[in-house]
Chains A and B, each alone.
Chain A
Amino acid sequence: MIKVQNLYKEFDGRNVLNNINIEFKPGECSLIIGASGSGKTVLLKNLVGLYEPEKGDIWYDNNNFTRMPLSQKKIFRKEMGMLFQQSALFDFATVEENIIFPMNFFTDWSLEEKLERANFCLKRVNLENANKLYPSQISGGMQKRVGIARAIALNPKYLFCDEPNSGLDPTTSIVIDHLIKEITQEYNITTVINTHDMNSVMEIGEHIGFIHKGELIWQGNNKEIMDSECQPLNDFVFANNLARQLKKRG
């Protein structure tokens, strides 16, 4: 379980996250939704310790992650998998080598075992026959999927995905959503997903937090989200015509 308490983050005196309190449970996909620039990525980077918050604490079970020295954070990080918004694949390595990279450091597997695991992960993200290509040779959506495959390579206990299906077609998008949900339940992973894709929200939104201008102003699930009274959330959810018409009809 991850627990965020009174989290504040600012950049050059500009407040980006304001008093965030939220809990993420194992075996559950938690979605952070919000408009572009609302602070989703900054929140995620605080969770994994890439940014230091100005105030507040982040707890991993009963360990205060924010106050840990780097050496101790490293132990937790070996159990984290993260997909970056821009994928952040290593461009010195092929698709396959990207996925094997963490295995090289933290397992004693033979090359065959590593390749087998890499192929298994690639298959799960619907990406085959790209093993020997370099990141610069594959499309943005393919890079995303390699990023996911790399994040789940070592069966993480915590999975963080920054917009896993932006740049993907609707079909692949749903495949990825279901993959994430499946492995979350299968391995009891604590999963946090940033998204502004309403399809994902409806498909896998068991727990949703809505960030508006750096504040977490609503939490609930994909059933409650339709009937919420929160105006900014309604503007976000019913942004398009179709959705507005559906809402009017009830």
Chain B
Amino acid sequence: MKKLFDIAGDYFLLMLRVFRKPEKWSIFWKQFWTESNKLVIDSLVIVSIISLSVGAVIVIQTASNLESPFIPKLYVGVMARESLVLEFCSTMIALMLAGKIGSNISSEIGSMRITEQIDAMEIMGVNSANFLILPKICVATFFGPFLMLMSFFIGLIGGGLIISVTGIITLAQYVEGLRFAFKAYYIFYSMFKMGVFCFIIASISSYFGYNAKGGSLGVGKFSTQAIVISSTLILIFDLILTKLLL
């Protein structure tokens, strides 16, 4: 328990060093675009594949659960939309990203730590935490919500595709369902959640990378810890935010 408080304290101290005005904005923006490529662009394919297939699976499952002739067919669309927007596209995608981006961030920063590259920056008088971590956090927090949005649309397309292939219901029924009692607020809620989750992923993974020690074995151990802790926090914050915002 004491260890947990120590970690929390160190984490906040690190964040204090991260959230400073960059030495030069031009350097920050250059890093920002590099990181966008690494963290966001490289995640597009995997997010799309998962969203497409989960969208399809949700549609098949709901359709087979709604056999009763008294329930209107448009509920397939409603259910698909609601499960995607409320939970899948934010929380599930975030958990997947915790593994993908999280391990990328913590192993990258961790290996810079153990090969003394971070020390070298510090000796030059560069705020290494600000230079390395701030762009990652900004990129993740800013683009995360758009990944959620993309995942949502691709999930819906996945549902539509499986319907046109199998013909469980008609496409018109599906689309009608998607538009039925649609609440735009849910989308903002989900995007906001995703922003918070991505902040957690980027900052926690950076923290564990930044404090890695014990050679390459240590880097492995610390990046595993980063994934475990950020996934746990994502689930906890999912509960909190849902309670607060819905």
The reply to whether the CB of B119 lies closer than 8 angstroms to some CB of chain A is: yes
Most chain B CB within 10 A, of A77, A82, A105, is at A105
Q: Are A91 and B117 within 8 A (Cβ)?
A: yes
Q: Are A77 and B124 within 8 A (Cβ)?
A: yes
| In the complex with contacts A86-B115, A88-B115, A80-B123 CB distance below 8 A | yes
Q: Are B125 and A106 within 8 A (Cβ)?
A: yes
Q: For the complex, give the distance between the alpha carbons of A134 and B27 in Å.
A: 20
Indicate with 1 or 0, residue by residue over A84-111, a CB within 8 angstroms of chain B CB atoms. 1010111100000000011011100000
Q: Are A105 and B116 within 8 A (Cβ)?
A: no
| In the complex with contacts A105-B23, A105-B24, A105-B27, A84-B125 CB distance below 8 A | no
| In the complex with contacts A88-B116, A104-B27, A50-B126 CB distance below 8 A | no
How many Å from the CB of A215 to the closest CB on chain B? 25
Indicate with 1 or 0, residue by residue over B101-139, a CB within 8 angstroms of chain A CB atoms. 000000000001001110110111111000000000000
How many Å from the CB of B117 to the closest CB on chain A? 5
Q: For the complex, give the distance between the alpha carbons of A78 and B126 in Å.
A: 8
Q: For the complex, give the distance between the alpha carbons of A90 and B112 in Å.
A: 8
Q: Are B124 and A105 within 8 A (Cβ)?
A: yes
| In the complex with contacts A77-B123, A77-B125, A102-B124, A89-B27 CB distance below 8 A | no
Contacts of B123 in A (CB 8 A): 48, 50, 77, 80-82
How many Å from the CB of A103 to the closest CB on chain B? 10
How many Å from the CB of A155 to the closest CB on chain B? 13
Contacts of B117 in A (CB 8 A): 88-91
Q: Are B24 and A84 within 8 A (Cβ)?
A: no
| In the complex with contacts A104-B27, A105-B24, A50-B124 CB distance below 8 A | no
The reply to whether the CB of A75 lies closer than 8 angstroms to some CB of chain B is: yes
The reply to whether the CB of A132 lies closer than 8 angstroms to some CB of chain B is: no
Q: Are A101 and B124 within 8 A (Cβ)?
A: yes
Contacts of A81 in B (CB 8 A): 123
Contacts of A82 in B (CB 8 A): 120, 123
Indicate with 1 or 0, residue by residue over B20-35, a CB within 8 angstroms of chain A CB atoms. 0001100100000000
Contacts of A77 in B (CB 8 A): 122-125
The reply to whether the CB of A55 lies closer than 8 angstroms to some CB of chain B is: no
Q: Are A104 and B24 within 8 A (Cβ)?
A: yes
The reply to whether the CB of A74 lies closer than 8 angstroms to some CB of chain B is: yes
Q: Are B120 and A105 within 8 A (Cβ)?
A: no
Please, which residue of chain B has its CB at the minimum distance from the CB of A147? B120
Indicate with 1 or 0, residue by residue over B164-185, a CB within 8 angstroms of chain A CB atoms. 0000000000000000000000
Q: Are A84 and B124 within 8 A (Cβ)?
A: no
Q: Are B126 and A84 within 8 A (Cβ)?
A: no
Please, which residue of chain A has its CB at the minimum distance from the CB of B120? A88
How many Å from the CB of A183 to the closest CB on chain B? 18
Contacts of B124 in A (CB 8 A): 77-78, 80, 101-102, 105-106
How many Å from the CB of A82 to the closest CB on chain B? 5
Partner of B116, one of A74, A80, A86, A106: A86
| Residues 8 to 48 of chain A near chain B (Cβ within 8 Å) | 45, 48
Contacts of A45 in B (CB 8 A): 119
Indicate with 1 or 0, residue by residue over B56-79, a CB within 8 angstroms of chain A CB atoms. 000000000000000000000000
Q: For the complex, give the distance between the alpha carbons of A48 and B125 in Å.
A: 11
How many Å from the CB of B126 to the closest CB on chain A? 5
Contacts of A74 in B (CB 8 A): 125, 127
18 contacts between A and B (CB under 8 A): A45-B119, A48-B123, A50-B123, A75-B125, A77-B123, A77-B124, A78-B125, A81-B123, A86-B115, A86-B116, A88-B119, A88-B120, A91-B112, A91-B115, A91-B117, A102-B125, A105-B124, A105-B125
With A74-B127, A82-B123, A106-B124 given, name 16 new contacts (CB 8 A): A48-B123, A75-B125, A77-B125, A78-B124, A80-B123, A80-B124, A81-B123, A88-B120, A90-B117, A91-B112, A91-B117, A102-B124, A102-B125, A104-B27, A105-B126, A106-B125
Residues of B within 8 A of A (CB): 23-24, 27, 112, 115-117, 119-120, 122-127
